[in-house]
Amino acid sequence: MSGFSVALTLTNLMWCFVGVTLGTAVGVLPGIGPAVTVALLLPVTTKVDPSGALIMFAGIYYGAMYGGSTTSILLNTPGESATIITAMEGNQMAKRGRAGPALATSAIGSFVAGTLATVALTFVSPLVVDVALSFGPPEFFALMVLAFVTVSAVLGESPLRGLTALFIGLAIGLVGIDNQSGTARFAFNVPQLLDGIEVVTVAVGLFAVGETLWSAAKDYKVEESLIQMSGSIWMKADDWKRSIGPWLRGTVIGFPFGAMPAGGAEIPTFISYALEKKLAKNPEEFGHGAIEGVAGPEAANNASSTGTMTSLLALGLPTSATAAILLAAFQQYGLQPGPMLFVNSADLVWGLIASMYIGNLMLLVLNLPLIGVWVKLLKIPKPQLYAGILIFATLGVYGMRQSAFDIFLLYVIGVLGFLMRRFDFPTAPVIIGMILGPLAEAQLRRSLSISQGDWMIFLQKPLSASLLVITALMVVGPWVWNKLKNGSADKNAKH
Amino acid sequence: MASPETRKGRTGQIVVAAAVLILGILMAVGTLQFPEATGYAKVGPRLMPAIVSGALILLSLMLLKEAWFGGFKDVDEEAAAANPTNWKAFAWISGAMIVNGLLMVPAGFVIAGIVMFVMAARGFGSTRWLKNAGIGAILAAMTYAFFNYGLGLNLPAGLLPI
């Protein structure tokens, strides 16, 4: 409750509103997902006090998610993998002249899921914090290893490319002066590298610049067709009746997935879609624009990303690219998310959580009627759109450190993003690796100095041992399973 | 096992895997220059880079093996070959960003932004130079005003008396 007294001050309400509006405006641009939106807008908050800034971020985050689903539905260009389903089914609805209800069900569904998931977050995080307060360095390190592996190896298409991306991120995170010993690592005497590489530069480079290069050099043949909005944006009584169930089920599926320190909002959206198809009276409508297929996955996506905030706030563990950038936002103010944050800066945390409720409501009340304005942003022709995105990208990156060096770095990372897209490497693990890597290294070194260099410490503590065993099973398990399956298939073939 | 002819389409993949390998090796060499852990702690600034470089070398060898025998899992090289890269567009965008970096401090945010805008738009095939310069100017000036005066972010004014 005390959180609302923080969030409901006039200034903070204003920051929340600015955040929601900016987030939607940037998030609606094609190819710009929530992670880049947050990264691009990070410098905007440098001059704002911490609680105001973080509250603004809650707004940006929700606005970006909402803007992203708008683009998915009208252009069929999902900004991130968690909106693939929304894009597919919602675009079908839009093609049949039902763009309005599709946008409305995703907006209201996001509101319902976001609010319920924030309630869950409010009650679950203190429990997680209580447990996490008893964690020592070995437990935290094991937890981070588990998060690394699930995010990069288990959830993607190719564990090999996912892990490569993760370790490239970890390598980027190593650049700069080592906090504990003062050794300069991989900085090549370049002063700008001694301070390390900004996560904003990497995120904006990989996503926004990489996307611009890709769009110019690879997508030149593809003509995107923006679907015209026609008819009412409001849902009919029947649409409401068909949406409420999927919203609630999506929330229930999504939140636990996000709250686990494993991440991945894609899986709950797929599960929700499959479930709704099974429960539907007319499953043949799925794939041709069934409103349940938009409502459920969109709610699951939103509940899951709210769940992600549980691991971020209570454990200090970001499990999505967006959460990793939010972690960087906290670090900008010298704050380290994790159980101690609830103890030391309770006001700030609860203010942030309260503003998540408010941001969600604000989004619905203020933004839903503005949908026509946002759609206009989609009509900007490609050359001017991407040229404009580059201006914002250089602004964001230059604004962080006032260094032209960072613009060249931004370009180099953009080329990396282009290549990663060309060869189908996932990019989120890079961001998570670079931001979580230094934290994992600190916990690793702390653990080993407690044990005086004995690695067995990780196996002697029951919790860290079981976390590491789970991690090992997740990496080796599928591989062994495949071998066994192929082995028996070979045998069958011989008969 | 794939025949040599089909391997030809995967030169790119082999180069990518080799690049990761080189990165890993360079990191490992760099790691050796770091001071050893001293005193009570037993672990120092070497440990994490050693783990990361070792992992990169291992992963790159596995990638190399995949690229050599059959190609990266689930990467469709035929589809990629059917959609060749437009290097001219790539070069325009690259030039736009590099010129922006060069101009940012001496010429200022607004001028650097206009030049980048025009060049990037050219990368997407737009040759209406004047119109693009105008749009770029409005956009860059508005951002400059908003961030510099509104939010107190320190952007370079450069040649313009603003």
pLDDT in tens, A309-330: 888 999 988 888 888 988 988 8
Which residue in the set B45, B52, B132 is minimally distant from A171, CB to CB? B52
Percent of chain B whose predicted confidence (pLDDT) is above 90: 57
Contacts of A326-330 with CB under 8 Å at 24 or more apart are A326/A38, A326/A57, A326/A61, A327/A435, A327/A436, A328/A42, A328/A198, A328/A199, A328/A200, A328/A435, A329/A38, A329/A42, A329/A45, A329/A53, A329/A54, A329/A57, A330/A54
Mean pLDDT of A417-430: 92
First vs last C-alpha separation in chain A: 69
Query: What pLDDT sits at residue B84?
Result: 86
Q: Is B143 close to A220, i.e. CB distance below 8 A?
A: no
Query: Is the pLDDT assigned to residue B33 strictly greater than 90?
Result: no
The chain-wide mean pLDDT, for chain A, equals 86
Distance CA A254, CA A115 (A): 13
Mean pLDDT value of segment A94-116: 88
Helix or strand (DSSP H, E) at A69? helix A50-75
The answer to whether residue A7 scores a pLDDT higher than 80 is no
Which pLDDT score, from 0 to 100, does residue A495 have?
47
Q: Which of B49, B62, B93 lies nearest to residue A185, judging by beta carbons?
A: B49
Listed by number, the residues of chain A in 205-234 with a beta carbon closer than 8 Å to a beta carbon of chain B are 209, 212-213, 215-218, 220-221
Choosing among A18, A390, A411, A416, which should be mutated to test the B contact, i.e. which has the most B CBs within 10 A?
A390
- For B118, name the nearest residue in chain A, comparing CA atoms only: A387
Question: Which of B22, B43, B76 is the best residue to mutate to test the A interface, defined by the most A CB atoms within 10 Å of its own CB?
Answer: B43
A15 has pLDDT over 80: yes
Please indicate whether, in this complex, the C-beta atoms of B63 and A174 are within 8 angstroms of each other: no
Contacts of B44 in chain A (CB under 8 A): 181, 183, 445
Mean pLDDT of all residues in A43-56? 79
Mutate to test the interface with A, among B48, B76, B86, B144 (most CBs of A within 10 A): B48
Of A364, A389, A226, A232, the closest CA to residue A302 belongs to A364
Cβ neighbours of residue B32 closer than 8 Å, sequence gap 6 or more = none
pLDDT value at residue A331: 87
pLDDT at A449 over 50: yes
Residue B76 has pLDDT above 70, yes or no: yes
- Residue A297, classed as helix, strand or coil, is helix
**Tens-place pLDDT, residues A52-99:** 888 888 888 888 888 888 888 888 777 677 788 888 888 888 888 888
What pLDDT digit, counting tens, does each position of B103-143 carry? 999 999 999 999 999 999 999 999 999 999 999 999 999 98
Nearest-by-CA chain A residue for B64: A160
Q: Is the pLDDT of residue B71 over 90?
A: no
Report CA Rg, chain A.
22
Please state, in angstroms and rounded to a whole number, the distance separating the CA atoms of residues A133 and A320: 23
Tokens linked to A25: 């405006």
Residue A485 burial (CB < 10 Å; 0-12/13-18/19+)?
A: exposed
Q: pLDDT band at A166, cuts 50/70/90?
A: very high
Judge whether A4 is closer than 8 Å to chain B, CB to CB. Answer: no
Of A46, A178, A382, the CB nearest to B153: A46
Pick B22 or A189 by higher pLDDT. B22
C-alpha span between A134 and A323 (Å, rounded) = 24
Confidence of residue A492 (pLDDT cuts 50, 70, 90): low
Share of chain A above pLDDT 90, in %: 29
Copy the structure tokens of residue A215.
């769009």
> Which pair of tokens denotes residue A75?
């252009």
What is the DSSP code (8-state) at residue A83? G
Pairs of CB atoms within 8 A across A/B: 210
Rounded distance, CA A376 to CA B50, Å?
A: 51
Q: What are phi and psi of A448, to 5 degrees?
A: -75, -25
Are A414 and B59 in contact (CB < 8 Å)?
no
Tokens of A302: 């939103």
CB distance A219 to A202 below 8 Å: no
Residue A158, CB-side half-sphere exposure with 13 Å CA sphere: 19
Interface pTM, i.e. ipTM: 0.92
pLDDT at A187: 85
Residue B162 clears pLDDT 80, i.e. is over it = no
With beta carbons under 8 A apart, name residues in chain A contacting B152. Answer: 47
CB-nearest to B126 from A164, A183, A383 is A383
From the list A218, A388, A453, which residue is nearest B85 (CB)? A218
Per CB-CB distance under 8 Å, the chain A contacts of B143 are 391-392, 395
Contact B126 A157 (CB under 8 A): no
User: What's the token pair of residue A341?
Assistant: 């944050």
Chain B residues inside the 8 Å CB shell of A429:
none
> What pLDDT is recorded for position A155?
67
Does A216 contact B74 at a Cβ distance shorter than 8 Å?
Answer: no
DSSP A424-455: T--SHHHHHHHHHHHHHHHHHHHHHHHTTT-T
- Name chain B contacts of A220, Cβ cutoff 8 Å: 86, 89, 124-125
pLDDT of residue B128: 92
Q: Give the C-alpha separation, A6 to A97, whole Å.
A: 43
Flag whether pLDDT at A413 surpasses 80. yes
Interface test with B, best of A42, A178, A384, A411 (most B CBs within 10 A): A384
B159–chain A nearest CA distance, Å: 16
Residue of B nearest to A383 (CA): B121
What tens digit of pLDDT does each residue of A357-387 get? 888 888 888 777 787 787 777 788 889 999 9
Concatenated DSSP letters for B88-115? HHHHHHHHHHHHHHHHHHHH-HHHHHHH
| B140-154 residue pLDDT tens | 999 898 888 877 777
Enter the tokens of residue A152.
């990069």
CA quadruple A230, A231, A233, A235: dihedral positive or negative?
negative
- Show residues of chain A in contact with B99, CB under 8 Å: none
> Is A423–B83 a contact, with Cβ atoms under 8 angstroms apart?
no
Reported as a pLDDT band with limits 50, 70 and 90, residue A229 is low
Q: Which residues, 6+ apart, have CB-to-CB distance to B99 below 8 Å?
A: B112, B115, B116, B119
CA distance A429 to A168: 9
Q: B97: which chain A residues are within 8 Å (Cβ-Cβ)?
A: 209, 390, 394, 407-408, 410-411, 414
Residue A247 has pLDDT above 50, yes or no: yes
Report how far residue A331's alpha carbon sits from residue A468's, in angstroms, rounded to the nearest whole number: 27
User: Which of A30-34, A106-110, A272-276, A464-468 is least confident?
Assistant: A30-34
Share of chain A above pLDDT 70, in %: 93
Beta-bridge mates of residue A185: A176
C-beta atoms of B124 and A209 within 8 A: no
Chain position carrying tokens 């469709």:
B76
- For A158-183, what is the mean pLDDT? 91
Mean pLDDT, range A13-35, rounded to an integer: 85
Using 50, 70 and 90 to split pLDDT, how confident is the model at A174?
very high
Are B59 and A180 an interchain contact pair (Cβ–Cβ within 8 Å)? no
Q: Is the pLDDT of residue A494 over 50?
A: no
* The model's pTM: 0.88
pLDDT over 50 at A135, yes or no: yes
Find which of A141-145, A448-452, B75-79 is predicted with most confidence, using mean pLDDT: A141-145
